[in-house]
Chains A and B, each alone.
Chain A
Amino acid sequence: MSTQKEKDRLELLQGTLDLLILRTLIFGPQHGQGIARAIQQTTEDELLVEHGALYPALQRLEERGWIAADWGTSTNNRKARFYTLTRAGRKQLVKETTKWRRLAAAIGRVLGPEAREG
């Protein structure tokens, strides 16, 4: 039932979803569907984010106090639950981003210069 295109998408690494959510929220409050859309758009549909998987992550982040949530009205006048980045969340984002960059760079060094596809 999944198309070929979907199969080519990258599976999310453990823990990266949290980072993506925090990063998305840096532009202002957003509801779950908006976050999902934003991730998909910014990654140009490369990442497979099952919308349903977003919610446990949101729940977790909320419990840790990195994001806060409240019901509000969306641009097209629908009730939705909006998530906001907290001060702690902002700090966490900086921390996670640095960590991620270092990790990516390190792995990049191990793998060497990009080989030609073929």
Chain B
Amino acid sequence: MGTVTMEQGLLLASALFALGLLGLLLRRNVLFVLMSLEVMLNAAALAFIAAGSRWVQPDGQIMFVLIVTLAASEAAVGLALVLQVYRRYVTLDTDSLSGMKG
């Protein structure tokens, strides 16, 4: 048996989450923003798995399944929106997409 504890798993999860959050805040390309969101969702899933492993309960893996469902829905809708935005404005830069009419 190894000696890695849940805390180290949670530490890794928070590091990955922070990286995703940084990408979300700093990047200006919509595709990279969506990828950062995936990284953050994945980090949250890792936290659930680590906790589920600590108490040997299946709830962590069930939350993981629900998070994957959420990530798939978010990616599908977000990427469809990206396609529409690119078709209309021919850019993926969030700064130049910030103005709205009406």
Q: Is B a genuine binding partner of A?
A: no
What is B's interface to A at a CB cutoff of 8 Å?
Answer: none
What is A's interface to B at a CB cutoff of 8 Å?
Answer: none
